[in-house]
Protein backbone atom coordinates (compact mmCIF):
# COMPACT_ATOMS: atom_id res chain seq x y z
CA UNK A 1 0.00 0.00 0.00
CA UNK A 2 2.92 2.35 0.65
CA UNK A 3 3.85 2.25 -3.02
CA UNK A 4 0.31 3.26 -3.98
CA UNK A 5 0.41 6.10 -1.47
CA UNK A 6 3.65 7.39 -2.93
CA UNK A 7 2.12 7.20 -6.40
CA UNK A 8 -0.99 9.06 -5.17
CA UNK A 9 1.24 11.75 -3.70
CA UNK A 10 2.65 12.17 -7.22
CA UNK A 11 -0.85 12.99 -8.56
CA UNK A 12 -1.67 9.45 -9.69
CA UNK A 13 -5.48 9.41 -9.43
CA UNK A 14 -5.72 5.69 -10.20
CA UNK A 15 -3.42 4.86 -7.28
CA UNK A 16 -5.53 7.03 -4.97
CA UNK A 17 -8.70 5.27 -6.16
CA UNK A 18 -7.12 1.87 -5.47
CA UNK A 19 -6.19 2.93 -1.94
CA UNK A 20 -9.71 4.13 -1.23
CA UNK A 21 -11.18 0.91 -2.60
CA UNK A 22 -8.90 -1.08 -0.29
CA UNK A 23 -10.02 0.74 2.87
CA UNK A 24 -13.59 1.74 1.99
CA UNK A 25 -15.20 -1.00 4.12
CA UNK A 26 -13.12 0.04 7.13
CA UNK A 27 -14.12 3.68 6.66
CA UNK A 28 -17.77 2.66 6.45
CA UNK A 29 -17.62 0.65 9.68
CA UNK A 30 -15.99 3.50 11.57
CA UNK A 31 -18.43 6.11 10.24
CA UNK A 32 -21.35 3.85 11.05
CA UNK A 33 -20.26 3.67 14.68
CA UNK A 34 -20.95 7.42 15.01
CA UNK A 35 -23.66 8.15 12.45
CA UNK A 36 -26.70 6.01 11.81
CA UNK A 37 -28.14 7.72 8.74
CA UNK A 38 -26.87 6.13 5.52
CA UNK A 39 -26.67 9.38 3.54
CA UNK A 40 -24.75 11.07 6.39
CA UNK A 41 -22.31 8.16 6.44
CA UNK A 42 -21.78 8.53 2.70
CA UNK A 43 -21.30 12.30 3.11
CA UNK A 44 -18.71 11.80 5.84
CA UNK A 45 -16.79 9.27 3.74
CA UNK A 46 -16.98 11.46 0.63
CA UNK A 47 -15.80 14.55 2.51
CA UNK A 48 -12.98 12.46 3.97
CA UNK A 49 -11.91 11.29 0.52
CA UNK A 50 -11.95 14.84 -0.86
CA UNK A 51 -9.90 16.22 2.02
CA UNK A 52 -7.51 13.28 1.83
CA UNK A 53 -7.04 13.72 -1.91
CA UNK A 54 -6.33 17.44 -1.51
CA UNK A 55 -3.93 16.90 1.40
CA UNK A 56 -2.17 13.63 0.59
CA UNK A 57 1.02 15.40 -0.45
CA UNK A 58 1.33 16.75 3.12
CA UNK A 59 1.49 13.22 4.55
CA UNK A 60 5.12 12.71 5.57
CA UNK A 61 4.94 9.06 6.56
CA UNK A 62 3.04 6.82 4.10
CA UNK A 63 3.02 4.03 6.71
CA UNK A 64 0.64 6.15 8.79
CA UNK A 65 -1.85 6.75 5.98
CA UNK A 66 -4.65 4.62 7.42
CA UNK A 67 -4.41 6.24 10.84
CA UNK A 68 -4.36 9.65 9.19
CA UNK A 69 -7.45 9.05 7.05
CA UNK A 70 -9.35 7.52 10.00
CA UNK A 71 -8.59 10.63 12.03
CA UNK A 72 -9.98 12.80 9.22
CA UNK A 73 -13.06 10.57 9.02
CA UNK A 74 -13.72 10.74 12.75
CA UNK A 75 -13.51 14.53 12.61
CA UNK A 76 -15.95 14.63 9.66
CA UNK A 77 -18.35 12.29 11.47
CA UNK A 78 -18.20 14.36 14.63
CA UNK A 79 -18.92 17.54 12.65
CA UNK A 80 -21.94 15.96 10.96
CA UNK A 81 -23.12 14.53 14.27
CA UNK A 82 -22.91 17.90 16.05
CA UNK A 83 -24.64 19.63 13.15
CA UNK A 84 -27.54 17.21 12.61
CA UNK A 85 -28.20 15.40 15.87
CA UNK A 86 -29.14 16.98 19.17
CA UNK A 87 -28.83 13.70 21.01
CA UNK A 88 -27.27 10.38 20.10
CA UNK A 89 -29.49 8.39 17.79
CA UNK A 90 -29.78 4.77 18.80
CA UNK A 91 -28.29 2.39 16.29
CA UNK A 92 -31.43 0.26 16.60
CA UNK A 93 -33.47 3.02 14.89
CA UNK A 94 -31.43 2.51 11.74
CA UNK A 95 -33.10 0.15 9.31
CA UNK A 96 -30.68 -2.11 7.50
CA UNK A 97 -31.28 -3.16 3.94
CA UNK A 98 -29.49 -5.71 1.81
CA UNK A 99 -29.08 -3.11 -0.94
CA UNK A 100 -27.06 -0.88 1.39
CA UNK A 101 -23.94 -3.00 1.11
CA UNK A 102 -23.68 -4.35 -2.41
CA UNK A 103 -20.14 -5.69 -2.25
CA UNK A 104 -20.63 -8.08 0.66
CA UNK A 105 -22.15 -11.52 0.56
CA UNK A 106 -25.35 -12.16 2.51
CA UNK A 107 -23.40 -13.99 5.23
CA UNK A 108 -21.03 -11.02 5.62
CA UNK A 109 -24.01 -8.69 5.90
CA UNK A 110 -25.66 -10.90 8.52
CA UNK A 111 -22.44 -11.06 10.54
CA UNK A 112 -21.98 -7.31 10.32
CA UNK A 113 -25.57 -6.65 11.34
CA UNK A 114 -25.22 -9.00 14.28
CA UNK A 115 -22.10 -7.15 15.40
CA UNK A 116 -23.85 -3.77 15.22
CA UNK A 117 -26.88 -5.19 17.00
CA UNK A 118 -24.58 -6.37 19.78
CA UNK A 119 -22.68 -3.10 20.23
CA UNK A 120 -25.79 -0.90 20.15
CA UNK A 121 -25.92 -1.06 23.96
CA UNK A 122 -22.54 0.73 24.19
CA UNK A 123 -21.93 4.48 24.38
CA UNK A 124 -20.34 6.16 21.36
CA UNK A 125 -16.84 6.24 22.87
CA UNK A 126 -17.09 2.57 23.79
CA UNK A 127 -18.35 1.63 20.30
CA UNK A 128 -15.60 3.46 18.42
CA UNK A 129 -12.90 2.06 20.71
CA UNK A 130 -14.27 -1.50 20.39
CA UNK A 131 -14.33 -1.17 16.58
CA UNK A 132 -10.82 0.27 16.41
CA UNK A 133 -9.43 -2.26 18.91
CA UNK A 134 -11.11 -5.48 17.77
CA UNK A 135 -12.10 -4.93 14.15
CA UNK A 136 -9.27 -2.69 13.00
CA UNK A 137 -6.76 -4.24 15.44
CA UNK A 138 -5.29 -0.95 16.63
CA UNK A 139 -3.33 -0.91 19.87
CA UNK A 140 -4.35 1.27 22.81
CA UNK A 141 -1.46 3.61 21.99
CA UNK A 142 -2.61 3.94 18.38
CA UNK A 143 -6.19 4.62 19.50
CA UNK A 144 -4.83 7.24 21.90
CA UNK A 145 -3.27 9.11 18.99
CA UNK A 146 -6.34 8.76 16.77
CA UNK A 147 -8.89 9.87 19.33
CA UNK A 148 -6.62 12.12 21.39
CA UNK A 149 -7.59 10.34 24.58
CA UNK A 150 -5.64 9.24 27.61
CA UNK A 151 -4.56 5.56 27.54
CA UNK A 152 -6.17 4.95 30.91
CA UNK A 153 -9.45 6.37 29.60
CA UNK A 154 -9.29 4.06 26.60
CA UNK A 155 -8.60 1.06 28.83
CA UNK A 156 -11.50 2.08 31.08
CA UNK A 157 -13.84 2.33 28.07
CA UNK A 158 -12.66 -1.08 26.83
CA UNK A 159 -13.19 -2.60 30.29
CA UNK A 160 -16.67 -1.06 30.67
CA UNK A 161 -17.66 -2.12 27.16
CA UNK A 162 -16.52 -5.69 27.78
CA UNK A 163 -18.44 -5.77 31.09
CA UNK A 164 -21.60 -4.41 29.45
CA UNK A 165 -21.35 -6.94 26.62
CA UNK A 166 -20.58 -9.78 29.03
CA UNK A 167 -23.52 -8.84 31.23
CA UNK A 168 -25.88 -8.50 28.28
CA UNK A 169 -24.76 -11.47 26.18
CA UNK A 170 -22.23 -13.63 27.94
CA UNK A 171 -23.38 -14.18 31.49
CA UNK A 172 -20.82 -14.63 34.23
CA UNK A 173 -17.67 -16.27 32.92
CA UNK A 174 -16.58 -17.20 36.46
CA UNK A 175 -19.50 -19.55 37.15
pLDDT in tens, 27-78: 998 888 888 888 999 999 999 999 999 999 998 998 889 989 998 998 898 8
Q: Do 72 and 120 reside in the same domain of the chain?
A: no
The pLDDT assigned to 134 comes to 82
pLDDT in tens, 109-132: 444 446 767 777 888 888 888 888
H/E/C letters for each residue in the chain?
A: CHHHHHHHHCCCHHHHHHHHHHHHHHHHHHHHCCCCCHHHHHHHHHHHHHHHHHHHHHCCCHHHHHHHHHHHHHHHHHHHHHHHCCCCCCHHHCCCCHHHCCCCCHHHHHHHHHHHHHHCCCCHHHHHHHHHHHHCCCCHHHHHHHHCCCHHHHHHHHHHHHHHHHHHHHCCCCC
Output 83 or 54, whichever has higher pLDDT.
54
The pLDDT assigned to 118 comes to 75
- Are the beta carbons of 74 and 147 closer than 8 angstroms? yes
Q: Do 64 and 22 reside in the same domain of the chain?
A: yes
Please, which pLDDT band fits residue 83 given cuts at 50, 70 and 90? confident
Domain span holding position 63: 1-89
* CATH number, domain with residue 162: 1.10.10.10
Percent of the chain with pLDDT over 90: 29
In a domain, 100, yes or no: no
pTM: 0.60
Q: What is the C-alpha to C-alpha distance for residues 1 and 15, in angstroms, rounded to an integer?
A: 9
In a domain, 98, yes or no: no
In a domain, 132, yes or no: yes
Amino acid sequence: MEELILMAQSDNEEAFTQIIMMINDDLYKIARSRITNESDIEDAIQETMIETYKSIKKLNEPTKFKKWIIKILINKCNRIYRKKYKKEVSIEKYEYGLNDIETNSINDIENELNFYDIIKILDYEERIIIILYYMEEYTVKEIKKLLKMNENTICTHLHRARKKLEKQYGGNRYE
